[in-house]
Amino acid sequence: MPKTKLVLTVPPDMVKEPLTWRLIKDHDLMVNILRASISPDEAGHMVVELSGERDAIEGGQRYLASCNVKVESLEKDVAWSEERCTHCTACISVCPSGALILDRDTMLVTFDSEKCIGCELCIPVCAYRAMEIRV
Amino acid sequence: MPKTIKEINEKIRAGKAVVVDAEEIIDIVEEKGTAKAAEEVDVVTTGTFGPMCSSGAFLNLGHSRPKCKYSKAWLNGVNVHAGLAAVDIYIGATELPQDDPANSVFPGRFSYGGAHVIEDLVAGRDVELRAISYGTDCYPRKEIRSWVKLQDLNEAVLTNPRNGYQNYNVAVNRDKDRVIYTYMGVLQPKCKNANYCSAGQLSPLLNDPLYKTIGIGTRIFLGGAQGYVYWQGTQHNPSAKRLENGVPASPAGTLAVVGDLKQMDARYLRGASLVGYGVSLAIGLGVPIPILNEEIARYVSVRDEDIVAQIVDYSSDYPNGVSGSLGQVTYKELKSGFIQIDGKKVPTAGLSSYARAKEIAGQLKEWIQTKRFYLSEPAGLLPGVESGLTCKPFSERPIS
C-alpha cells in the first residue's frame, strides 16, 4: 500500500477542524501522527504518515489544501550532508526513529530519510551542521 | 632483536617496511605473540579526529603599501590577536565574532567562529580582513580592509598547545530536570545519555601509554599534512592513575603539535559549533609508533576492552571542580551503544570520530608505504611517570 509522510501547517482558524477524522472517514486513509503541536488560536504543525490507495492519498491531500493547510513532503524537511558529516556519532543516541544509523563495525553513520519523522532533535547536537532543515 | 628508528627508515626507503594500523596490530599480536609481532612489524599508525579547543593559527599577512602595524584585527568579523609584530596575527579556534550573541539567548548556536575561519582558509575561500592601527612613522596606515586567502599569506602555522588527550571522561548529566549544554555535547537530565570522546584503541597516546617513542620532534599527520610534536601539551598529567597495562584510567598525557596550515586539507580541519558551549576545531591527528622492541609491540596491541574511562557528572561535579567518578566503563562498552549506570541502560554517543581516526591511520600508513613519510628521531621524550608532573587546579588568592 502506498505511503507518504507529510508536514502539515494548519492555519489558526482550522485548528478546530477534525482533520485526521475526515482523512480516515471520508478518504479511507490510515493516519499515523508522528509529531503534532496544536494549540487554540495558533498555527498548528503536524507530521503525519498517510497510507492508502494512491487516489485516496491524492484525495486526502486535496481535502487538506481546501482547508488551507500547507502540505509539504517530509523528505525535504531534514537532510543529511554526507560531506559535512564527520561520523562522530553524536546524533545516534538522540534519533528516536532509527533514521540515523551507525554501522558498529565501521563506525560510519548513514541516514535513512524514509525513517525520519522530522523531530529535528539531531539538528542542535550536530556540531558540523551536517543535519539541515530544508525549507 | 631491538630495532632503531634509523633501521626502520632504511626499510621504508627500500620499500620493505611493514606498516599496519593500531587496529590491525591487535589481531597480529593475538595470533603471533608480541615477540614475533615486534620482529615482523616496523611501524604501527594511530589516529584520532575530534574537537580540540586548544587550537589556533599564526598568520603573517605580508605588508601593504603603505605599511600598517595592526593593533586590532578581524577575519570574517572574528576577533584575532594582533599583539605581535606589525602584520603577524594569531587566530584562536574558539574566538567568536564581535557581535555574536553567545549564550545571551540560551542555548547559543555558535554557528561561526575562529575554527570556521581556519576551515574557510584551508578550503581556499576568500576571508575578509579588517585591521586598524594607531599609526607610526614607519607604519603610517591606520586602516585596512581586504579579501585575503591562504595561499597569498607568507606563513600560516597551525598550533595546538594541547591535542591528542590520552583518554577522556564520559560525560553525563545527573541533574533531575535540566538539559545541559557542554563541550561534551547536549546532555539530558537523569543520566539519559552519555557522551565520550576518544578513539580508544586507535588513539595515539593510548598506544604509547608511557611515552616511550613519542617526543619532541616526532613527525606526525596533522590536519592532512605532515607536522611535528613540539612539546608536551598543556595540562600534561603523566601522574594519573594507571591500569596494569600502563594505560591511564582517566585523562593523562597530552601533545603540543604544530604544522603548516597551507599544506592541510579541510577534510581533517573542521569548524565545530557546540550548541550552548561555543566554537571548537575538530582536527585529525595521526602518530606513527616505531616498533622498536617487544615492549612497544605489547603497548600497541591495546584493545578497546583494555581501556577504561571514568563517568563524570557535568551538571555539578565537573563545573564545581569536584573530582569523582560515577563508575568506569571500557571503550568496547561505550562503542556498543549502551553502558550501565546504576543498573540502568544508558545510550552512548561519541564526539570523536572513530571512522575518521581509522581513515587517518590508514592515510599515514599509505604515506609510509609509498615513501612519502619517514619517521623522525625525537629530540627529547615527554615527561613520564617518573617526572612526578601533575595537572594542578588554579591556585586562587583573592584580592581584597
**CATH at residue A111:** 3.30.70.20
Q: A35 and A7 in one domain?
A: yes
- Give catalytic residues of B, as residue numbers: 138
Q: A129 and A91 in one domain?
A: yes
Q: What per-residue string of b and e applies to B273-287 under the rule 16 or more CB within 10 Å gives b?
A: bbbbbbbbbbbbbbb
Q: A94 and A64 in one domain?
A: no
The grid coordinates listed for B346 are: 544508558
Q: A121 and A68 in one domain?
A: no
Q: A112 and A93 in one domain?
A: yes
pLDDT at A76 over 60: no
Q: A108 and A57 in one domain?
A: no
**d(CA B270, nearest CA chain A) in Å:** 7
Element holding B185 (H helix, E strand): strand B185-187
Closest CA to B392 of B234, B254, B249: B234
Question: Which of A81, A85, A89 is most worth mutating to test chain B (most B CB atoms within 10 A of its CB)?
Answer: A89
How many domains is chain A partitioned into structurally?
2
What's the mean pLDDT in A88-106?
Answer: 95
pLDDT at A135 over 70: no
Residues in contact with B228: Cβ distance below 8 Å, sequence separation at least 6, in sequence order: B217, B218, B219, B220, B222, B257, B258, B259, B376
Q: Which residues of A touch B186 (CB under 8 A)?
A: 94, 124-125
CA distances from B304 to A31, A96, A98, B178, B329 (A): 45, 27, 25, 32, 10
Question: Which of B181, B188, B201, B270 is most worth mutating to test chain A (most A CB atoms within 10 A of its CB)?
Answer: B270
The SS3 call for residue B53 is coil
- Does A125 sit within 8 Å of B350, measured CB to CB? no
Distance CA B2, CA B58 (A): 40
Residue A1 confidence (pLDDT): 80
Burial class of residue B300, CB neighbours in 10 A (0-12, 13-18, 19+): buried
Closest CA to B201 of B29, B4, B9: B29
Q: Which residues of A touch B356 (CB under 8 A)?
A: 86-87
Q: Give me chain A's average pLDDT, please.
A: 89
Strand order of the β-sheet with B19-21 is: B19-21, B43-45, B288-290
The grid coordinates listed for B202 are: 586507535
- Mark which of A75, A103, A121 sits at the end of a domain: A75
The ipTM value here is 0.93
Q: A85 and A71 in one domain?
A: no
pLDDT tens profile A2-26: 888 888 999 988 877 898 999 999 9
The answer to whether the CB of B319 falls within 8 A of the CB of B312 is no
Question: Which of A81, A83, A84, A93 is most worth mutating to test chain B (most B CB atoms within 10 A of its CB)?
Answer: A93
Q: Which of A89, A94, A106 sits opposite B350 (nearest CB)?
A: A89
How does DSSP assign A83-127, residue by residue? TT-----TTTTT-SSS-EEEETTTTEEEE-GGG-----THHHH-T
Q: Which residues pair with B92 in a beta bridge?
A: B56
Q: Which residues pair with B215 in a beta bridge?
A: B381
- Does B186 sit within 8 Å of A94, measured CB to CB? yes
Torsion angle, CA of B238/B332/A84/B76, rounded to 10 degrees?
A: -20
Closest CA to B85 of B70, B65, B75: B70
Q: A118 and A82 in one domain?
A: yes
Q: A33 and A86 in one domain?
A: no
Q: Domain range spanning residue A88?
A: 77-133
Q: A63 and A26 in one domain?
A: yes
The answer to whether the CB of B118 falls within 8 A of the CB of B271 is yes
For chain B, which residues make up each domain, given as ranges? 56-157
The SS3 call for residue A14 is helix
Nearest CA in chain A to B195: A90
Element holding B232 (H helix, E strand): strand B225-232
Q: A20 and A69 in one domain?
A: yes
Residue B77 confidence (pLDDT): 98
- Mark which of A27, A57, A75 sits at the end of a domain: A75
Please tell me the least confidently modeled range out of A50-64, B195-209, B245-259, B281-295.
Answer: A50-64
- Mark which of A75, A97, A118 sits at the end of a domain: A75
The grid coordinates listed for B164 are: 591528542
**d(CA B345, nearest CA chain A) in Å:** 12
Residue A105 confidence (pLDDT): 95
Please tell me the least confidently modeled range out of A39-43, B135-139, B307-311, B383-387.
Answer: A39-43
Residue B230 confidence (pLDDT): 98
Distance CA B238, CA B382 (A): 9
Q: How many CB atoms lie within 10 A of CB B396?
A: 6
- Does B282 sit within 8 Å of A93, measured CB to CB? no
pLDDT at A75 over 70: no
Distance CA B44, CA B192 (A): 37
Provide the phi-psi class of B235: left if phi over 0, else alpha when psi is between -120 and 50, else beta.
left
Q: Give me chain B's average pLDDT, please.
A: 97
Give Cα A39 to chain centroid, integer Å.
19
Residue A91 confidence (pLDDT): 95
- Find the radius of gyration of the CA atoms of chain B: 22
Q: A7 and A71 in one domain?
A: yes
Q: Which residues of A touch B49 (CB under 8 A)?
A: 86
The grid coordinates listed for B357 are: 581516526
Upper half-sphere CA count for residue B19 (Cβ side, 13 Å): 27
Q: Which residues pair with B46 in a beta bridge?
A: none
